[in-house]
Amino acid sequence: MTGPKDIIKKSIKGRQMHLKPHTTGIFFLFLLILLLGLGTSTAQALTHPCLIFNNITDTPGYQHRTESPWSDWESDIISSADWVLPRNFSDPNWSDYNRAIYRSSFALDLALAYQITKNTAYADKAKEALLNMDIGDFPYDFDYAYAVMYYSLAYDWVQPYLNSTEDETVRDKLATLADELYYRLNHGGTQPSYISFADYHGREYPAMGIVGCVLSDYTNPNNLSLNSTSSDWFRVGTHDLFVNDTMHPVYNKSLIEIVFGGAGKFGCGMYKFYWINPMAWWFQVYSHFNGSNIFDVYPMGEKMMTNELWDALPNRYNANYGTLGNVKLRPSEKLILNLLDPENKSYALKYIDDLYSTDILPYSGWDGSLSTRLLYLVYDDYSSIPRESPSWTSHFDTTSFYQVFRGSWQNDSDWLSLITWPEGFETGSNRDMSHHDQLSFEYYSRGDLLLADGGEEKHVLDGYYGPFEIYHNTIMIEDPRTPFDVASWSGSGARGMYKGDAGGLYTPTYIKNLIQTPWMEIVDANATVNRLTASTFVEHYLSSPVNYERTILYPEKDYFAIIDRLEGSEPWIYRNLFRPTSLNITPSTGTTESEVGHVNIDLTIGSTPYNWLSLPYKTETPTGITTSSIRWNTTNPYGNKVNMHLFSSPASEIRITKHVTRIAGYGSKSEVFLPLVYFRSNETNDLYRVTVLL
C-alpha cells in the first residue's frame, strides 16, 4: 500500500546539521523533552496549505482570475463567503442550511476566499466554523462524508491563521469526526456486505483519504477515545478503494471492483454524479500531497472518470443503458484534465468541445454538476492544446459489462452497444442488477438512435422504470406446455431472461470471442437461461435450461449482423424483440394515454405499411403477417432522412405492442410511445436466427 509522503522524515532530513561536542548534550535533552511530550503544544510536521496547493498563486484560477470562466468561479466563491459572514457558527439551530453538508461547504468557501483575498474576516469566520464543526444536523451518513472532506480542506487553507490552541482543538474535532465516519463505513463491522456506492460509500471513501492526508501527522495528544487512526483513513481511500476493501471483506475485492466494470463504466449509470465531485477532490489531493499522479498508481481511477470517451453516442449524448438517458452529462473529465497524459488529454478536450457545441435534442439538456471550487484550483487554460479524436474506435473488454462497436468519430457513425454482464460482477443494487438486459443491444446510425433501450420511464402511464425485458432489444421465451400468465407490464405471455437482482447475478454472460481486425469486428457471448422474469424481483424457473449465444459481427465497418442461437432439450416458442425508435419525437404533454407523445417513425411490416399508433396501449396485437423484413422511415435530429431496414431470418410471425420508452431526453416529455416488434417462432427445441441492420 502506498502511504502518504512522510513529511516528518523529510522535515528532519532537510534540517540535518553537524553537532559540535559541547552542544550534543543540549540537543539530546531537547529531543528527550519532545519525545516525552513535555512541550506545551503539539508540533506541526505539515506545512499548510498542502492538499491541493502550497501557494494559492500557483493555481490556474488565481493566475487567470481576470479571465472567464475563472473570474466567474472566483466571484461565486467570494459571493458565497460574503453571504455566510453574518452567520453564527456556534448557533446549533440555524433555521435553514443547518445540515453538516451545508455548514462544511460554507467553511470551505470562507477558507478559500481567505486564501484568494487574504481578507482576515473570511479567516475568522472559517475558524469559527471549524471550531464548531461538531454542531449541525447529520441526518445521513453522507453528511459525515462531506463534513469530513470540506472541513479537511478548509482546515488546510486556514491553518496558518490559527494559534496553537485553536489548531489543537480543530485537529481533535476533525479526528473525532473522521473516526465517526470510519465507523459508519460498515457500522462498526456489523454491515460487512452492505454497499451503497452512489448514496454513501462513493463519497465516504474519498473523504477518508483526504482526512488521512491532512491529519497524517496527528498523534492524538489528548488521548481521545478513537477507534481508528489517520493510517486507517488513508488506507480506506487507497487500498480499500482500489485494491481490496477491508471494510467489506465478504467481497474479497476492491470497492471499485464491486460496482464498476473492468473498463471503468459505473453499473448504476446516471448516479455517477452522486460521487464524481468527492472522488475528483480526492484524486487531486492524493496527487498533489503525495507528489505522484494517482492514475499512475491506481489506473482504474482514470478509467472511471473518462468512460464517456468510449461509450457515449456519436452525437455525444448518453445512450439509454440502465438509469442513463439521452442527455449531456457534465464532463467529469474537466475535473482531472491536469492528471491526464497528453494523448488522453487531447481526446478528453475533443470530447468536451464536442459536448458543449451540440444542442440537437430540444427536449434534452445537461445533467449533473461539477465543483466550480475544484475547477478554480485545477482547471487550466488548455486553448493551445490540439484536440484529437481517439486513435481507436470500438471498445471491447472481457472484464466489462458493456461492449461498444463504433464506426468512426463522426456524429452519423454506426454505434452499437452490447450488455455482457459477467460472472462475479454483483453490485448489490437493484438499479442495475434487476434491469433484465443481459445480451441486449442498442443501435445508433445515420445520426439517429434507431433501436433504443427503454431507459427508465417513470412519469407517464404505469411508470415501470424500465427493468423488464420489453425495454431491451433482446430475446423472449414462451412455454408451450405450461403457458405463462399474460404479464401485467407487457400484455404478453412471453418472458425474458432474468438477469439478477440485489441478491445476486443468476444469468451471467461469458464472452467466448472478441475479434478486432481492420476488416472484421466480432463479439461472441453466451448465457445459460434457467430463469425468466415473473416480476421485477421474482423469477420463473424453466423446466430445462436453454443455451443462448449472441454474436455481433461488424464487417468492414459497413453493417451489423446479429446471430442468435437458442438450443433447448424440449420445445419452446422463441421471440426476438426489436424496438424501432428515433430521436425525432412528438413530446408528451401529460401523463395520461391521450397525452403521451410518440417516436416519429413510419413502420412497414414486410411490404405493408402498418399504423402502429392506432393500437391500444400495452396490448399485444398479431399483425397476420409472416415476414423477414421490417422498415421504418424518419428524419434524424440533423434534418436528414433516414430509411432503416431490419432483415431477420427465418421469416416469422410478427406481433406488435404499443408501449412506452424514454428517448431524446430525460424528463416526462421524452417518455413516448414506440412499437415493440416481435419475431415469433414456431414451437421448436432450437432456433438459429440471423438479423442484419441495413
pLDDT of residue 185: 96
What pairs with residue 686 in β-bridges? 567
User: CA–CA distance from 502 to each of 69, 119, 202, 514 (Å)?
Assistant: 43, 52, 18, 29
In this structure, what DSSP letter does residue 237 have? I
Residues 94-119, mean pLDDT to the nearest whole number? 97
Over residues 549-576, the pLDDT tens digits come to: 999 999 999 999 999 999 999 999 999 9
Q: At 21, is the pLDDT very low, low, confident or very high (cuts 50, 70, 90)?
A: very low
Contact 280, 338 (CB under 8 A): no
Residue 124 has pLDDT above 70, yes or no: yes
DSSP-derived 3-state class of residue 271: helix
Residues 454-465, mean pLDDT to the nearest whole number? 90
pLDDT of residue 75: 97
Query: Whose grid coordinates read 430540444?
Result: 362
Long-range contacts of 6-10 (CB under 8 A, 24+ apart): 7/45, 7/46, 7/47, 7/50, 7/216, 7/217, 8/45, 8/217
Lookup: cell for 175: 479526528
pLDDT of residue 463: 86
Q: At 45, is the pLDDT very low, low, confident or very high (cuts 50, 70, 90)?
A: confident
The whole-angstrom separation of Cα 624 and Cα 613 is 17
Torsion of Cα atoms, 489 then 490 then 495 then 498, to 10°: -40
The whole-angstrom separation of Cα 505 and Cα 517 is 32
Contact 206, 212 (CB under 8 A): no
* Total Cβ atoms within 10 A of residue 513: 9
- The one-letter amino acid code at 293 reads N
The whole-angstrom separation of Cα 541 and Cα 198 is 32
Q: At 270, is the pLDDT very low, low, confident or very high (cuts 50, 70, 90)?
A: confident
Residue 471 has pLDDT above 50, yes or no: yes
The whole-angstrom separation of Cα 526 and Cα 508 is 9
Contact 431, 268 (CB under 8 A): yes
Lookup: cell for 521: 469486428
Residue 22 has pLDDT above 90, yes or no: no
User: Helix %, strand %, coil % for the chain, to 5?
Assistant: 35, 25, 40
Q: At 17, is the pLDDT very low, low, confident or very high (cuts 50, 70, 90)?
A: very low
Sign of the CA dihedral 97, 102, 108, 113?
Answer: negative
Residue 305 has pLDDT above 70, yes or no: yes
Provide CB contacts within 8 A for 503, sequence distance 6+.
none
Sign of the CA dihedral 377, 383, 386, 390?
Answer: positive
What pairs with residue 495 in β-bridges? 477
Over residues 184-239, the pLDDT tens digits come to: 999 999 999 999 999 999 999 999 999 999 999 999 999 999 999 999 999 999 99
Angle at Cα 458 formed by Cα 529 and Cα 637, nearest 5°?
A: 95
Long-range contacts of 286-294 (CB under 8 A, 24+ apart): 286/209, 286/213, 286/237, 286/238, 287/339, 288/50, 288/51, 288/52, 288/53, 289/4, 289/5, 289/50, 289/51, 289/213, 290/2, 290/4, 290/5, 290/213, 291/5, 292/2, 293/339, 294/339
Provide CB contacts within 8 A for 352, sequence distance 6+.
331, 333, 334
The whole-angstrom separation of Cα 548 and Cα 566 is 5
The whole-angstrom separation of Cα 310 and Cα 261 is 14
pLDDT of residue 92: 93
Report the candidate in 316, 352, 318 with the shortest Cα–Cα distance to residue 334.
352
Lookup: cell for 533: 422474469
pLDDT of residue 462: 87
When the pLDDT of each residue in the chain is averaged and rounded to a whole number, the result is: 92
Over residues 132-174, the pLDDT tens digits come to: 999 999 999 999 999 999 999 999 999 999 999 999 999 999 9
- In the 3-class helix/strand/coil scheme, how is 138-174 assigned residue by residue? CCCHHHHHHHHHHHHHHHHHHHHHCCHHHHHHHHHHH
The whole-angstrom separation of Cα 178 and Cα 171 is 10
Residues 74-79, mean pLDDT to the nearest whole number? 98
Residue 251 has pLDDT above 90, yes or no: yes
Angle at Cα 484 formed by Cα 480 and Cα 490, nearest 5°?
A: 120
In order of their start, the domains of the chain are: 7-259 (no CATH), 402-693 (2.70.98.70)
* Total Cβ atoms within 10 A of residue 592: 10
Over residues 499-532, the pLDDT tens digits come to: 999 889 999 999 999 999 999 999 999 999 999 9
Which stretches does DSSP call E strand in 579-670? 585-586, 598-599, 602-605, 608-610, 621-635, 641-662
pLDDT of residue 536: 66
Provide CB contacts within 8 A for 462, sequence distance 6+.
489, 618, 660
* Total Cβ atoms within 10 A of residue 30: 11
Which stretches does DSSP call E strand in 302-356? 328-329
Lookup: cell for 344: 488522453
Lookup: cell for 622: 398479431
Q: Which helix (H) or strand (E) holds 31?
A: helix 21-35
Q: pTM of the prediction?
A: 0.91
| 166 alpha carbon, distance to own chain's centre | 39
DSSP-derived 3-state class of residue 664: coil
DSSP-derived 3-state class of residue 657: strand
pLDDT of residue 13: 30
Torsion of Cα atoms, 661 then 663 then 667 then 668, to 10°: -40
Please state whether beta strands 641-662 and 671-680 pair in parallel, antiparallel, or not at all (unpaired).
antiparallel
Residues 9-36, mean pLDDT to the nearest whole number? 37
pLDDT of residue 39: 34
Q: Which helix (H) or strand (E) holds 622?
A: strand 621-635
Residue 359 has pLDDT above 90, yes or no: yes
Angle at Cα 679 formed by Cα 676 and Cα 681, nearest 5°?
A: 145
Lookup: cell for 510: 461469458
Contact 575, 496 (CB under 8 A): no
Residues 583-601, mean pLDDT to the nearest whole number? 96
Q: At 44, is the pLDDT very low, low, confident or very high (cuts 50, 70, 90)?
A: low
Contact 366, 667 (CB under 8 A): no
pLDDT of residue 532: 94
* Total Cβ atoms within 10 A of residue 542: 18
